[in-house]
Structure 1
Amino acid sequence: MTGPMTRSTIVVVTWRGKGHVSACLDAVAAQTRPHRLLVVDNASDDGTEEILAAHPARPEVLRLPTNTGYAGALAAVDRHAAVGTEFTAWLNDDAEPAPDWLAALEDALDQDEQAAAAGSRMAGLDGAVLSIGVGLTADGHGVDLVDEAAGPRPVFGFCGGAVLLRTEALRHAGGVPARFFCYYEDTDTAWRLRLANHTIVSVPTARVTHRHGASTQPGSRLFHLWNERNRLAMLIRCAPGGVAVREVARFAAITALLPLRRLARRPERRPGTPWNFRVRLRLRVLGELAGSLPQLLRERKAVTDLAEIPRSAVWRVARSLNSPG
């Protein structure tokens, strides 16, 4: 649905979404505000392409030649200059927004000119709240916040599965880190928006139902690999230098000590050991981090060049604002 007052482009990223993308597009089509709908298809090979072509919403489709992950797909949108609207919404293909979702987010950004992003209230199929925003722990882990409020509230970051951003603010902050593939691209983006002196709000009236894990496998080996690698990459890119060095060193030290701990001995042979405490996975994280360190340091300088306030000031905000630990 578009019109003369179309202010937002809703970007839906899909990969093998045959079983759920139609429900997402149905919900987008029911929005009460005019919008442009763009679907980025990460080279789906399960019939998703045919579903998109036949859907009555008639979305624009940007089909990528390979699966670039959630982060890569969002970055591709900007590379193709596909968004020309004031706002850009990110939406998972397994999410179903309420009809007034877009209206609530647009209104929230209209009411707070300093806010560059407005996050949603995401709930599971059982109604349990999954996220109203993202906080940071003392060691730089992003965590979903679930304590609800009556109205819009400040949060450090947003869940990238359903968020509305100011398009120019996003571009000025450097866009989306495509190399992350998936996980932490949203927290990294929020951090850079804050370094650019923007704020972020959570909008509890912007309700989304999320089929959590329909497109990924939370708890899997790849899930933990991407999480651990991208968290450390985000800290190198965005955090104060002392924090980044401390957390990389802590990760390496824990990795070195794991074989010496009786309960973690031969972790690959203990099926109950979480993937993120298995030595081989952690060594791969450190290897990938070492290989990309020159590029990460160049990216850190680029983030510094775009920043308008010190990293230390944003870290203090992160530690005081909606931080659970």
Structure 2
Amino acid sequence: MHIERIDLNLFVIFERIYAEGSLTRASEQLNLTQPALSHALARLRTVVNDPLFVRQGGRMVPTPAAHKLIRYVKPSLTAIKQGLGEIEDFDPTSSRKRIHIGWPHRFESVMLPRLMPVIEAGAPGVELSCSLLGRYELEEKLSTGAIDLALNVLRPTGPDIRSRLILRSDLAVVARKGHPGIRKTLSMNSYMAHKHVLVTGSSNGRGFEDFELAAHGLKRDISLRCTDYHSACLVVSKTNLLLTIMSPIAELAVQGSDIELHRFPLPDKTVDLYLYWHAMSDNDPAIQWMIGLIEEQVSADASIKAVNKPKPARKPEKSSTAKSSARTGAQ
């Protein structure tokens, strides 16, 4: 294959389709008609001898060959833009930028109510696109440009992934009002005597709290695994099951409901949340603006333990990673 015979604009189109997962959105981003975009995709398919994308419902799902190709195309396009000085100054008041964030479902209710009022008031043209992020997808999706930022607990990552600790959250235990097994405070004996709900995207994974309990030689009885906090809280309100979640999520859930909050019976146990991005975005003003906005809103919120003076962008330390390796399966 001779690269001089290939129209390199095809890779620009490929990258947009990959990032957007939609011919319609990609055509809007590139100011091309859908027929023109489809024709370009057909040409590239012929060049690489692979369909690259398969339509599933309303999405264009990448093939394995597309996943491999984007690892080379995305950083190459970024380098070219930087070399030509085409990464323009970012003005949030007038930008139409779409920023993609991936995170586990439990973080949406914590972050979006803090971010969207500020974006609506000061950056009305900026679109925030959020998607669920599986436990092993963080590095791949940042590397391929499928997402711009990720929010998660501490994960082991490669050298091109930046991370920054942005907040610490207490754990709370949710129980129905008038729970017969709980007096004024929730003791460890009472906590361990009851069955529990675990919100997770995994059929057999453990939560952060399970690793903390295991460190004290304890294993709780999980009666229900589900994928949604709202459903979990409804179940708790009608049963004697207990639910352990981050305090900011719990405080939202308890409003106007038949549930109440108790302190997690292991003192001083917190969940550390990290913001992740790829080194390719170090000089992207839009992504750096969003990083600053997230840190600013977290720091300004008295209901959570923000890290007011985060360390510079870095990789998690080896010691921390090793210490938390057992926790990387927590959902």
Query: Does the TM-score normalized on the shorter chain lie above 0.5?
Result: no
The higher relative CO (CA closer than 8 Å, separation ≥ 6) is in 2
Larger Cα-atom Rg: 2
**TM-score, normalization by structure 1:** 0.30
Return the TM-score normalized by structure 2.
0.30
